[in-house]
Structure formats: C-alpha cells, structure tokens
Amino acid sequence: MPPLPDSEFQTLLARVREALLDDGWTVDEQRPIDYGVALRLAGGGMLNVYNGKAGPKAVVAGKFGSDERKRLEALASTLVEVAASTAPGEQAGAATNLYQSKEPWIGCDESGKGDYFGPLVVAAVLVSPKQVDELGKAGVRDSKRVSDARAMQLSAWIEEHCETALRVLMPPEYNARYGGNLNEMLASLHAETIAELAIKHKAKRAISDQFGNPAKLREFLIERKAKVELISIPKAEADMAVAAASIVARGRFLAGLKELSSDATIELPPGAGPQVDSAARELAGLYGAGCLKDYAKLHFKTTQKVAPK
C-alpha cells in the first residue's frame, strides 16, 4: 500500500495518542523522525509510527516488560492495519450487541481528550436490540475505524435515528472546569449524559470504555439518582451503543474543531505534537498568547512551549 496522505496520517497519529491514553499510557513527547513520528512514553520506551513507501506501520522500541510490549504492539498494530486497509463504509469491525441486551441500553464515549485544540465531547446513545442491524448496515463501528468525513456524516445520522445526550465543552468552558484531574472530569461528564438518558427512558444498563477509576463514575451516577447497571470495560467500542457514541462524539469534536479553525482563520490540527505546536505559535503570533484559552486545552505541554510563564 502507498503512504497515507498527510491529513490521514495526522488523523492516525491522533487516534494512536487517544488509544494510548485510553489504555493507561502517558505520552511525554512527540517528535518527527525519518518517514514518521516518534512517541516517547513515560518510562522511556518509544512507539515509532512510520508512513513510508510501504504504507503506515508501528514499531515498539526501548525497555518494556514482555506483557507491556505485547499490549502496546497489539494496540498500535490494530490502528495501523485499520488505517492501511479499511476504507470508509466497509463493514469490517462492525459492532454488536455485546451483552445480548433484550432491552434498550446506553453506550457512552468521548472524543478530544488527547487533542490540544478543540472541544472535549462526551456522548451517550440509547440503542434498542432491533436497531443493531440497522446501525451495522449504516457502517457504525468504533470511530477509530471510520474516516473523519464519514464520522461527521454518521454522527448526524445516528443523532437523527437514536436518542442521544451530549456534553460539548469548548475550550473556555473546558479550561474553567478542568481541575487538574481529567479522569474525574470525564467521569462527571459521562455520568451526566448516562443519567440524562437513563432517567428519561428508564434504561437499566450502560456500557462505557474503562478509564481511571470506574468507582468514581458509579459514585457520580448515584449522586444523579440514575438507577442503572454500569459496565465499564476496555475496548467497549465493540458494543454497538458505545460504537455509536464514539462516532457521535468524534463527529461533534470535528465540527467544533472546524468552527474554531474558521474563527481563528487558520487550520487548527487535531492531536498534539510538532504540527500542533506550530499552529499554536501562529495563533499566538496573530492574536497574542492570551487567545489560546479560547481555542486550546491549556494544561497540555504545548501551552508552556508557546507561552512559558
């Protein structure tokens, strides 16, 4: 396969970073290397993502335990293989009714937490068993397996056909609400959206991807008087409701990023790394460093690179 176009490679990098965060990894640095990008992980190991003549590939380097290395290789290779081989609209990787629910259930996911620019979006979607086939035929699956253009199309379609609840935190609100603990803020936002659907539609089950401490999410749900069974698992996007939520969240994130780019009069790229640092410097040069609070998540390291205190 030939190399990915630059825009698709940048999207792949953003999805790799987001998947790493979801899996508990910390990315300390992103820097360009020949034919690709190196991600330095906490502890000193590296994940190199290449986009050479043979197409994208990922290589794990550095000191990792055997289990850590296998986990990292599996995570990265899955995303790279999807980018290399899955075209928009294909049915590969279609999600399912993971727990064979016989009543409508809720899936919840987020987008934007690994992106310097743009909003943080949390979406919850209510799916009934009879909707699973229809969603599958429409191409609903984990948003990491869907192109950005297709995610925006599917997001609107899902919102039209399914009950949804959304929290979209544009940068000013995100920065005001962020208290130094991203996982706690995510748990609160997930609880808000799940509770909204659970109470309104009397749903008894909710599935979310595992992040941080699931007990915190359960605590927030109890505070909101949502009587719902919470299933918090890794790779929850295999479930149709979670896959639908992941696409809605991604579509809304991309729409928010597009809106901010239009307002800024420059393209604000997704993800983090040198390309994002460059855009942040350009933005600060145009409007002053103080404008970053309106376009970006200030706690990212990019802020200190562009506007050191």
Q: Determine the pLDDT at residue 143.
A: 80
Burial of 44 (0-12, 13-18, 19+ CB in 10 A): exposed
Q: Determine the pLDDT at residue 208.
A: 92
The residue type at 271: G
Task: Please report how many Cα atoms fall inside a 13 Å half-sphere around the Cα of residue 257, on the Cβ side.
Answer: 24
Domain locations in the chain as residue ranges? 6-85, 105-258, 264-306
Q: Determine the pLDDT at residue 115.
A: 94
Architecture of domain 6-85: 2-Layer Sandwich (3.30)
Instruction: List own/partner pairs for 180-183 with CB under 8 A and 24 or more apart.
Output: 180/299, 182/113, 183/211, 183/212, 183/213, 183/216
DSSP code of 296?
B
* 19 vs 143: CA distance, rounded Å: 11
* 169 vs 122: CA distance, rounded Å: 9
Q: Determine the pLDDT at residue 73.
A: 84
Burial of 109 (0-12, 13-18, 19+ CB in 10 A): buried
* 281 vs 93: CA distance, rounded Å: 39
Q: In the CATH scheme, what is the homologous superfamily, with its name and number, of domain 105-258?
A: Ribonuclease H-like superfamily/Ribonuclease H (3.30.420.10)
Non-local CB neighbours of 122 within 8 Å, separated by 6+ positions: 108, 109, 110, 166, 167, 186, 189, 190, 192, 193, 249
pTM of the model: 0.73
Q: Determine the pLDDT at residue 166.
A: 98
φ, ψ dihedrals at 229, nearest 5°? -75, 125
* 219 vs 173: CA distance, rounded Å: 23
Record the tokens describing residue 259, joined without a space.
């809106």
Would you write out the chain's pLDDT as a tens digit for each of its 309 residues?
678 888 778 878 887 887 788 777 888 888 899 989 999 888 778 999 999 888 888 899 888 887 888 888 887 877 776 666 543 433 345 566 666 778 999 999 999 999 999 999 999 999 999 999 999 888 898 787 788 888 999 999 999 999 999 999 999 999 999 988 898 999 999 999 999 999 999 999 999 988 777 889 999 999 999 999 999 888 888 899 999 999 999 999 999 999 999 999 999 999 888 899 999 999 999 999 999 999 999 999 999 999 887
Q: Determine the pLDDT at residue 11.
A: 78
